[in-house]
Amino acid sequence: MSDFAYRDGQLHAEEVPIPRIAEDVGTPFYCYASAGLKRRYRAFADAFAGLPATICYALKANSNLAVVRTLATLGAGADVVSEGELRRALAVGVPAAKIVFSGVGKTEGELALALETGILQVNVESESELEALSNLARARGVKARVALRVNPDVEAGTHEKITTGRKGSKFGIEVERVPGLYARAATLSGIEPVGLAVHIGSQITDLAPFRAAFARIAGLVAELRAAGHAVRRLDLGGGLGIAYGRETPPSPAEYASLVEAVIGPLEAELVLEPGRALVGDAGVLVTRVLHVKDGSTRRYVIVDAAMNDLLRPALYDAYHAIRLVQEAPAEAATAPVDVVGPVCESGDSFAVGRRLPPVGSGDLLVIDSAGAYGAVMASSYNSRPPAPEVLVKGTEYAVVRPRPDIDDLLGQDLMPDWLAAPGETRSRGAA
């Protein structure tokens, strides 16, 4: 079921015509469907209903407060990787007891905040981090609940830049070092080791890598328990992919069946960290055609969205389906075009040689499956204000992050005294 479907020849977000939102907020803009967020969360939660699982939504996929609250009201916890994400989760009402702090490079301030807020656990990724966290906890008279993140040396079968679980990756602790570090954790006065964590990458569309990683974790659990250690919780990470094009990723139910078969016999509490699987298909990027330009060998459709708005195609050569908002007649001929943005980079391209019906200046296009790793990765490169975000619910819609104006961007910069004009805002530095 699509949350963005044609009705009377016009693409709608749930019950709202996309052109109506475009007229109101301008283009480009992100649009999220509440119904899609809820349906995908419930499918995931239902799949794991028979297991002792806590679903911690990975904020890195989309950290808009309205999106996070939508999921939190359904019972989602949060997987966070920075102080900012932790504060976002808390701000929308995610209970601290359902928050997991992941990430390879947590600062002392972030670890201290995790302790002070009493989150569920910290996923520790190095001996240095473990020692630092123990010292901070001991100084506060508390114990930090930790899971050691394991690098299982498994090929995830996904893009090089989003593979995180093979030897040589910066993430996690190598399998052979885990037993010794777990034993060390058990001796530290500021640490309570509660289990293991694993996350092998993102946009995984085959169960085999998950099976291999979970089997490694199961073997480690058996080894640790045989050595007398308590291992009561397993964080299995996220990474379940979506269909951007012709992929056929496993369903949440198929994924849950694998978890039950491999991990279920361990009788451990489970933490799951879905991100893209919950929000990816629930969002689109709407853009307007500025110009159609014919070259000697190709036709360019130049749109007002750019790589500063949606980085994935430039960064990962990622595929996103592209549709006209005004439905083309079934008999309309298609032709190959390059859909490109206005940023001064050759890499500012959303599609190369993509077959589309005829388009002209002023037409609206939708870039599908943009709800994950879209707005969160946006920037103001070329001094372009990032696209605003809109949330739809039925017949209603609201701007949930406005578009900054140019003055907002200029106001972020300050002048040193030696360059400031009279009355200009100046920086405050050391004399």
pLDDT at 237: 96
Angle value at C-alpha 364, between 279 and 397, nearest 5 degrees: 50
197-237 residue pLDDT tens: 999 988 999 999 999 999 999 999 999 999 999 999 999 99
What pLDDT does residue 156 have?
A: 58
Q: Under 8 Å CB-to-CB from 159, ≥6 apart: which residues? A: 203, 316, 318
Amino acid 425: pLDDT: 75
- The parts of the chain modelled with pLDDT lower than 70 are 1, 155-168, 429-431
What pLDDT, on a 0 to 100 scale, did the predictor assign at position 181?
Answer: 96
Given this model, what pLDDT does residue 169 score? 76
DSSP code for 223: H
pLDDT at 358: 96
Question: Which residues are tagged catalytic?
Answer: 344
CA dist 415 → 410, 412, 428, 429 (Å) = 11, 10, 9, 10
Is the separation of the CB atoms in 86 and 110 below 8 Å?
Answer: yes
Report the phi/psi class of residue 93: left, alpha or beta, with left for phi > 0 and alpha for psi in -120 to 50. left
Contacting residues for 420 by C-beta, under 8 A, at least 6 apart: 426
pLDDT value at position 164? 55
Q: Is 398 exposed, middle or buried (0-12, 13-18, 19+ CB in 10 A)?
A: exposed
DSSP line for 252-305: HHHHHHHHHHHTGGG--EEEE--SHHHHGGGEEEEEEEEEEEE-SS-EEEEES-
Residue 226's SS3 state is helix
Tell me the two tokens of residue 158: 């996904």
Which token pair is 28? 């480009």
What is the set of domains in the chain, with CATH numbers? 4-31+280-410 (2.40.37.10), 34-279 (3.20.20.10)
pLDDT at position 83, please?
Answer: 98
